[in-house]
Amino acid sequence: MAKKSRQSSFLRNLTVYGALAVATLFSVWPVTIMVEEGFDIDLSPIFSGKGMTTVAGFLPYYSGGIHPTIIHYLDALSFNSFFRLMGNTLTIAAISITIALITGVVVAYALARVPIKGKSLISYMLLALRAVSPFVVVVPLYIVFTRAGLWDTYGGVAIAEELLILSVVVWMIRGFFSDIPNEIYDAASISGASEWQIFRHVAFRMVIPGIVVTALFAFVLIWNEFVISDILTGPVAKTVAVGVWTGLGENTQTFKVIRFDDLNAAGTLAWIPAIAVMLLIRKYLAKGFSLGTASKDA
Amino acid sequence: MNKVYRNSGSLVGWYLLLLPLLVVLAVVEFYPLLSGINLSLTDANGSFSTANYAQMLSDPAFYTAIEVSLGYSIGSTIVCLIIGLTLTFLVTLKVRGRTVFEALFIFPLAVSPILAGVLWSPSSIWDDFFGFTHYILHLPFIDELSPVFFFPVMIVSEAWLWSPLIMLVALSVINSQAKQISEAAELHGASDWKRFVMISLPTVLRSPVMQFIIVLRLIDSLRAFEIPLAWSNWVGFQSFIGSPVDTLSLFLYKLIFVPLYHFPIGLVSAVGVALLAVTLFVALGLIRLLDRIGVR
């Protein structure tokens, strides 16, 4: 690289950090507001410049008042039984992800490696599953579930959540199987292993990390999912995302009063586990989305 | 696929292994879809009729919903792409602490869509922002209830939510495919911006993965629901259909849950089928893409 003078490098860094700061503000600001309003801190007097006055003519004094309180977080956890919602969501996610993995991993492998017929049909069906709006499916499901007594049960919602995660799970794991170098498959095949043995003893073990990443991503999807769980759950099996929206407002006769402090406190509590998982898997997530193409045509 | 298959006689077992998936698909996809199509073609007496479709097609609210959905979908995908690629460019610059910034840029991805509708609401971020623009910059207050303001905000909040995904995918493409060329160009003295625009950007946009993600975004935002639902509360359109926040999904939701409309299940199913047709039409593009990638 051509050697640059110290001054131009300083200017470059200044511009770069300036741009990074603006981008960070854009990404993080709404979340910051959420956390801060959960503590009932109102910064608007500062931003409008109206909160600052002076005492005795020269001492700057902030008259807006900042009185942080954790009462809204406590409310969310006690009155609005946030822990129970979290437990509900975890149970639903566990059932749903288990079903998706049991049915999906083998299919993902078959789509990636085994020369069976009808692969494209399965791909089409998974794609249609992704393209279908939840509403198209949830209304008939709602009718069936209420008749069958599955409405507002963990099992019912967990099955319906397959709508959301099944295609993602199969696609991502399929990509992880494709990422395994062909040499390994060929070596196993030449050693006399059957396709099933290759799957069971070689490929499956190699994609276990990928399966974990996929499962965690599916967990975040279910954790944040609103439509399916809103319609298919009631007071018993309500999930976090639904609780954040519906549990914290009061329906009066004509309109809904939304209590923003509680909403933001609950939102923060709902966001923390999701961001923790996302930060954990972000390096592998892009690889999962590469559908097994990233490493091949390099 | 140039692989050695010694035991290809034993493939029958694999068909059996596909069965559990097909059962799940039957429960959550085929049955509800067929049932929905059936309901949409049935009138109140249980006999065959196309009255539901006629009613749907004569309802101006339906056309508004289609326009809103298309505008929302295309707008938010384009904005999402622009934001995501901007973030990518910033993160690929060589400065200290870029992994920290990368982690900060991920933040929106963990926000649930319904919460994004709350966070971008007038009473959350715009409260402070308008205080700043009005009292410090002396700009006039902006009417939050006008579609000219809230529709772009809805689009930006949808884009905000998914821009980290674009960034992650773009980064993985750049790292696996454009890094070496980019480094070679750096040796020749090309600037960061030039290298990004002339090497990384074409690679990213041409990569099947990115095109796949873009089409997925188009499909997903075509049926967007949560952010429009939240905004229908902020701007007072909770119970009116045909408003500028009504995407097709929200239109359906209101038909179902607003008591005024008495849950017209045939009409709801007809709109559902129409929504399905629109999304599948977009999905056809995705299938052709998948063919090109060779994923299938």
Measured between beta carbons, which residues in chain B are less than 8 angstroms from residue A160? Answer: 28
Q: Cβ contact (<8 Å) for A290 and B252?
A: no
Which one of B29, B209, B249 has the shortest CB-CB distance to A129?
B29
Q: Cβ contact (<8 Å) for B36 and A140?
A: yes
Shortest distance, CA B68 to any CA of chain A (angstroms): 16
Q: A125 pLDDT band (50/70/90 cuts)?
A: confident
CB contacts < 8 A, A to B, total 328
Cα angle: B270, vertex B240, B257; to 5 degrees: 60
pLDDT of residue A194: 84
A64 has pLDDT over 80: no
Q: For A72-98, what is each residue's pLDDT tens digit?
A: 888 888 766 788 889 999 999 999 999
Which one of B6, B248, B296 has the shortest CB-CB distance to A123?
B296
Closest Cα to residue B106, out of A292, A23, A211, A17? Answer: A23
Q: A294 pLDDT band (50/70/90 cuts)?
A: very low
Q: Cβ contact (<8 Å) for B5 and A189?
A: yes
For the ranges A207-216, A254-263, B277-286, the maximum mean pLDDT occurs at A207-216
Q: Is A204 on the interface with B (CB under 8 A)?
A: no
Which one of A37, A115, A196 has the shortest CB-CB distance to B13?
A196
A9: closest chain B residue by CA? B95
pLDDT of residue B296: 42
CB count in 10 Å sphere of residue B116: 24
Encode chain A in three state secondary structure: CCCCCHHHHHHHHHHHHHHHHHHHHHHHHHHHHHHHHHCCCCCHHHHCCCCEEEECCCEEEECCCCCCCCHHHHHHHCCCCHHHHHHHHHHHHHHHHHHHHHHHHHHHHHHHCCCCCCHHHHHHHHHHHHHCCHHHHHHHHHHHHHHHCCCCCHHHHHHHHHHHHHHHHHHHHHHHHHHCCHHHHHHHHHCCCCHHHHHHHHHHHHCHHHHHHHHHHHHHHHHHCCHHHHHHCCCCCCCHHHHHHHCCEEECCCCEEECHHHHHHHHHHHHHHHHHHHHHHHHHHHHHHCCCCCCCCC
pLDDT of residue A278: 93
Domain boundaries B57-293, CATH class = mainly alpha
pLDDT of residue B289: 67
Measured between beta carbons, which residues in chain A are less than 8 angstroms from residue B3? Answer: 113, 182, 185-186, 189
A257: closest chain B residue by CA? B233
Measured between beta carbons, which residues in chain B are less than 8 angstroms from residue A170? Answer: 21
On whether the A73-289 domain is CATH 3.30.70.2860, my answer is no
Q: What ipTM, to 2 d.p.?
A: 0.87
Q: A221 pLDDT band (50/70/90 cuts)?
A: very high
Share of chain A above pLDDT 70, in %: 89
Average pLDDT over residues A121-144: 81
Which residue ranges make up each domain of chain B?
Answer: 57-293
Which one of A140, A223, A279 has the shortest CB-CB distance to B32?
A140
Q: Cβ contact (<8 Å) for A136 and B23?
A: no
pLDDT of residue A65: 65
Q: A31 pLDDT band (50/70/90 cuts)?
A: very high
pLDDT of residue B29: 86
Which residue ranges make up each domain of chain A?
Answer: 6-69, 73-289
Q: A 63-102 residues with CB below 8 A of B? A: 99, 102
Shortest distance, CA A56 to any CA of chain B (angstroms): 24
Q: Cβ contact (<8 Å) for A125 and B25?
A: yes
Q: Cβ contact (<8 Å) for B124 and A277?
A: no
Q: A161 pLDDT band (50/70/90 cuts)?
A: very high
**Positions of chain B with pLDDT under 70:** 1-10, 286-287, 289-296
